[in-house]
Structures are given as C-alpha cells and as structure tokens.
Amino acid sequence: MTDLKNDRYLRALLRQDVDITPVWMMRQAGRYLPEYRALRAEAGDFMSLCQSPELACEVTMQPLRRYNLDAAILFSDILTIPDAMGLGLYFETGEGPKFERPLQTRSQIAALPTLDPLVDLAYVTQAVSTISRELAGAVPLIGFSGSPWTLATYMIEGGSSKQFSKIKKMMFSDPQSLHLLLGKLADAVISYLNAQVDAGAQALMLFDTWGGVLSPDCYRFFSLDYMQKIVEGVTRESRGRRVPITLFTKNGGQWLEWIADTGCDAIGIDWTTDMAQAKLRVGHRVALQGNMDPSMLYANPSEIEQEVQRILAQFGQGRHGHVFNLGHGIHQDVLPEHAGVFVDAVHRFSRAYHG
C-alpha cells in the first residue's frame, strides 16, 4: 500500500483532526482550464477523453499541477452506467448529454443487462488504476457515480430536462416500473463503485443532481432509499483504510437529517443551505462538504477571500469534519487564477480554526 503524503481530506471526512481545512472543487478537472480545452480538442470529443485511461489520467492531474488541492477526483461522467447498458449516449454541442434509446416501457427496463464493471466499464477501472499510480500517494483519489434517481432521469427523459415530466409520469402512474429500474441501477452502482475501490479509489461520492426536484416523500422513496442501499453495499475498508462515502443532493438541504441516517460519512451541501445551521442539524454524526456558490469565483480576489472566511466562520472554531468545496461544479468561464485564490484562501484562513 502506498502511504498518503496528504490524507487530510480522508481525515476530515472521518471527523478527525486536521491541520487545515481540506479543499477540492467539483468539476476541478474540466472546461475552465485551457490545458483541458487543448487536450479535448486533440482528442476530438468528450467521450474520447473519458474512454482513454491515459487521457483521463492526464485530465485528472491537470488541476493538481496548478493548485494545492487535497484530493483528486476521477475524470469521467455520471452517465457511464446507462451508456454501458446500451442506451446510446451522445453529446450535442450546447445541449448536454442525450440518449438515442431512452426507456419508455417496463419491458425495456426488464431487458437492461447486468453490468460487469471490469468488462463493460473497463476503461473507467483502468483509468482509476492509472491515476492511482500517477498520484503515487500525493493525495487521495475520489471515485464516484451518479445516484440511481439521477441516472434514471436521463435514461427516461432522454437527456437533460426542466420539467422531468416523463419520469414523474412513470413515478406516479407506474411506480413499480420505476422501482425496477432504480433497483437495477443501485446494484450496478454498487458493483461500479466497488470496482473503483479495488482499482485504487480511496473515497467515494454519489452525485444526486436531480433529487432536489422531488417532494419529500418522493425523495425518500425514489432517491434516498436507493442511495442508502448503495451506502450499505459498497466497500468501506480497503488497503488498511476506511473508504468514506459522501452523498450530495443538489437542493437537498431540507433533508440533511434523513441523509445522515443512511450511514454515509459525509453530506455535500450546496450554497442554498446555511453551513452553521447544517452543522447544528447533523451534529457530529457526519462530516459536511461545501458550500461556496460557484458563481462567487466571478468576484474579485478580495471578495472571494471574504466569502471563504465567512463560510469557515459558519462552520466554527474547534469543530471537525469540514471539507471545503463549491456548492456545485465550477463554471466553465471562471478565470483559473480565481480558482487558485479560492484554494489558497481556504488553506490560509482555516489554519486558525485548527488548534
């Protein structure tokens, strides 16, 4: 086992002492970096980057060369599982991901194959292994997946949606079919994440991007229950270390107590949730990740620093279990220098909170 030179991210997720608050950024490897844009142009398209372990490794490493980040996250896409199930993922310029064969009937759902991640998603597990070797223990590597509910929205809607009318129609008119799909996806996500851990990932994250479009009862039954199944099914110890798992539901701040009850190690929160209130509500049960508005990186450097200080103060003195992050992914037109200001500010100003 390669010893980690910097394990403060893992320690913070487990609510242990750290010298400074760890920080990373959702979508830290991506379009805001000119070196990423150059590599994508060379590769030809987004999926060519994802499906090449060597290129995925290069993209993963790019932000770590620029910034003093405390974690790397696998460069991939949340829709790799539905793509491997044969739905025909493709990307339209300016419109995001789409599927050629969206799900419309129970028979289509029943016919979805059971995935072997070492075969059907071998390019992902190979990328994890390649990145792990390249990191050589510098910082932990985060593996991830989309949540079953979020994957199902794309698979039924056929792409991004504003109203989610197709999946909600199934949810209310044929819930048994939707539960069949969500169960299949939960099993696939468990296998997928465990394969990432076997390949070298040291922490896991579930992105529930669209859980926040649900009512409380529907969130619990159609999203959270399946995330809890994943929490209970994934590998939690590997290579002599705990493998922490973080759940992130965008616009899910009203359900923090429910999320904490799943047994996860940490909850990601967005900027619509007050950090101090979140801490009061979950106590010491879980760590918290977040939660600066990504648009704050459009501000001038002094204002970015002030916002970092404000969020650190909200979390509080002498408390364990904070991973600083943006409340969602970094925007593609943010100046890379402003991201650097953000990362440096977290480290500089958080030292006072860790005696």
Known binding-site residue numbers: 27-31, 77, 154, 209, 328
Catalytic residue at 65? Answer: no
Catalytic residue at 27? Answer: yes
102 within 8 A of 87, measured Cβ to Cβ: yes
Catalytic residue at 348? Answer: no
Catalytic residue at 8? Answer: no
Please tell me which residue in 9, 32, 67, 154 is annotated as part of the active site. 154
**Chain Cα centroid distance, residue 103:** 25
190 within 8 A of 234, measured Cβ to Cβ: yes
SS3 262: coil
Helix or strand run (H / E) with residue 131: helix 122-135
Residues making up the annotated binding site for substrate are 27-31, 77, 154, 209, 328
- Which letter does DSSP use for residue 287 in this model? E
d(CA 282, CA 9): 19
Please tell me which residue in 31, 66, 101, 220 is annotated as part of the active site. 31
Please tell me which residue in 7, 70, 77, 120 is annotated as part of the active site. 77
DSSP-based helix, strand, coil % in the chain, nearest 5: 50, 10, 35
**DSSP-assigned beta bridge partners for residue 143:** 204
- Which letter does DSSP use for residue 214 in this model? S
Please tell me which residue in 40, 66, 281, 285 is annotated as part of the active site. 40
Catalytic residue at 241? Answer: no
Mind telling me the catalytic residues? 27, 31, 40, 77, 154
